[in-house]
Amino acid sequence: MVQTLQNWLREHESDLLSDYRAMLRIPSVEGPALPNAPFGEHNRAALDLALGMTQGWGWRTRDLDGYCGYAEFGTGDREVAVFGHLDVVPVGPGWKHDPFGAEIDGGYVYARGAIDDKGPTMAALYAARAIAECAPDLAARIRVVFGCDEESGFQCIKRYVQEEKPPTYGVAPDAGWPLIHAEKGIADAFVSFALPGTLLKLVEIKGGQARNIVADACTARLLVDESAKAEIQSRLDQSWDKNLSFSWQGSELHIEAVGKAAHGSWPWGGDNAVIRVLRFLMEIAPLADQETYTELFEMTHINGSGIGAEGSDEPSRDLTCNLGIAKTEGDRIQFTMNIRYPVTWKGADLRARIEKHLKGLPISCELDDFTDSKPLYFPLDHPLTKTICEVYETETGDTKKPGVMGGGTYARAVENTVAIGTGWLGDGDAHQTDERLAIESLYKMSRIYAHILWRLATG
């Protein structure tokens, strides 16, 4: 039967590619809430496309008021569910391809969402469709869930678990191969402080697209005291950062920096433009302000030590911390720190550590808010883990072991669910400029997913 399913998928590759590109052309970045569209009109349009497609195939569908929806077929108590998401992160500058054009270039499809998560979701949908077409009397239910708020809050999946029971087995195609058996906890620490400086007074700073993206651009305005202007200008003359520019407008110093976006769980994989600006301010600050700007710069360390959060454990290794957003609000600045913490830790303990550390800093800082998504951990001998590993090895010959990730998927929010692999070497990285997926990878994923779903459905 697995061979039959995969043959069907090979015969329908052009349909998969066409539907995939249609989904990519919808700019499903979260927007203002509308009736029956809590995450904006474009996320609603993506959900409508998915539900309309599956209704046309004769599947049963449900729309959970625009938060998410699902389509299913089959009968029986056993339920195998796929949890994919149709929303995407903001685009950012520097794209060579239209981010919502779904352009094909060199065997790759380029678009925001190509690899995270529209490609894997559509590949899994077609894998399920192959089973529906080739095994219409399946004594199990296969359900594909379409989320619309994975990137900015998980409100979609929170609504889902309020109204639907957990599956017998679930997979979220949104991670590394063969699967991720441990997902770090994810916390957002919103740290604020008064506008810093005396002779070099920070008036405004603005940087970052989203909490879970390494900031790729930042601007700042500073008011310079006349008594310090010559000293600061001397340091400006010796500045070295080619990705940062500055200009004078009277007594104001304007700074612009560019960096490189990356997923917030991998902060060392990008180049944080906000950190670049803070380092620059530390270097040019007059003696009276150097301690203040040094403290601000050190607060941004990617291991979390700047806010007292550093640490590790054996299953998941080191904590990471990404300064995703910096913004000015009135006479204060707020940093949004996106933290991926070890799987054996508790979010409440982490919050207490951060609050204690901030109270001990020379500058006056406050923890305005703290959000937490607890870690996920599946033992390696769990039936779900073992089955997916067996299928992946059969399909690829690769004996790669299950991994650990700092990223968060729907698996952490739904019982009996793990995140499985997407893409291969050469395919683009999530959240980066010119995100891409090889067409052949799309097809290969669909065949592996079909094998996984069949094994889980037939036990």
**Catalytic-residue membership of 87:** yes
Partners of 69 in beta bridges: 63, 146
pLDDT category at 284 given cuts 50, 70, 90 is: very high
Q: Are residues 365 and 444 in the same domain?
A: no
The sign of the dihedral angle between the CA atoms of 259, 265, 268, 269 is negative
Q: How many structural domains does the chain have? A: 2
Mean pLDDT of 156-163: 97
Q: Report how far residue 146's alpha carbon sits from residue 85's, in angstroms, rounded to the nearest whole number.
A: 5
pLDDT category at 408 given cuts 50, 70, 90 is: confident
Angle (deg, nearest 10), helices 273-284 and 229-237: 120
Mean pLDDT of 103-112: 98
For the cut 90, the answer to whether the pLDDT of residue 162 exceeds it is yes
Q: Are residues 76 and 196 in the same domain?
A: no
Q: Are residues 214 and 313 in the same domain?
A: yes
CATH classification at residue 353? 3.30.70.360
For the cut 90, the answer to whether the pLDDT of residue 152 exceeds it is no
**Catalytic-residue membership of 271:** no
Q: What per-residue confidence (pLDDT) applies to 379?
A: 87
Mean pLDDT of the chain: 96
Among 333, 356, 373, the domain-final residue is: 373
Tens-digit pLDDT profile for residues 217-240: 999 999 999 999 999 999 999 999
pLDDT category at 459 given cuts 50, 70, 90 is: confident
Tens-digit pLDDT profile for residues 39-69: 999 999 999 999 999 999 999 999 999 999 9
Q: Are residues 142 and 258 in the same domain?
A: no
Among 373, 390, 424, the domain-final residue is: 373
Q: Are residues 179 and 273 in the same domain?
A: no
Q: Are residues 131 and 59 in the same domain?
A: yes
For the cut 90, the answer to whether the pLDDT of residue 328 exceeds it is yes
Q: What is the DSSP string of 269-319?
A: GSB-HHHHHHHHHHHH--HHHHHHHHHHHHTT-TTSGGGT---EETTTEE-
Using CB atoms within 10 A of its CB, is residue 399 exposed (0-12), middle (13-18) or buried (19+)? exposed
Mean pLDDT of 420-442: 95
Q: What per-residue confidence (pLDDT) applies to 314?
A: 87
Between 314 and 207, whose confidence is greater? 207
Catalytic residue among 30, 150, 174, 429: 150
Catalytic residue among 19, 30, 72, 87: 87
Q: Are residues 178 and 239 in the same domain?
A: no
Q: Which domain holds residue 173?
A: 2-183+376-458
Residue 396's contacts (CB-CB under 8 Å, 6 or more residues apart) are: 177, 448
Q: Are residues 197 and 241 in the same domain?
A: yes
Tens-digit pLDDT profile for residues 352-407: 999 999 999 999 999 999 999 899 999 889 999 999 999 999 999 999 999 998 87
Q: Report how far residue 458's alpha carbon sits from residue 139's, in angstroms, rounded to the nearest whole number.
A: 8
Tens-digit pLDDT profile for residues 15-29: 999 999 999 999 999
Q: Are residues 328 and 217 in the same domain?
A: yes
Among 342, 373, 404, the domain-final residue is: 373
For the cut 90, the answer to whether the pLDDT of residue 124 exceeds it is yes
Determine phi and psi for 401, rounding to 5 degrees: -85, 155
CATH classification at residue 135? 3.40.630.10
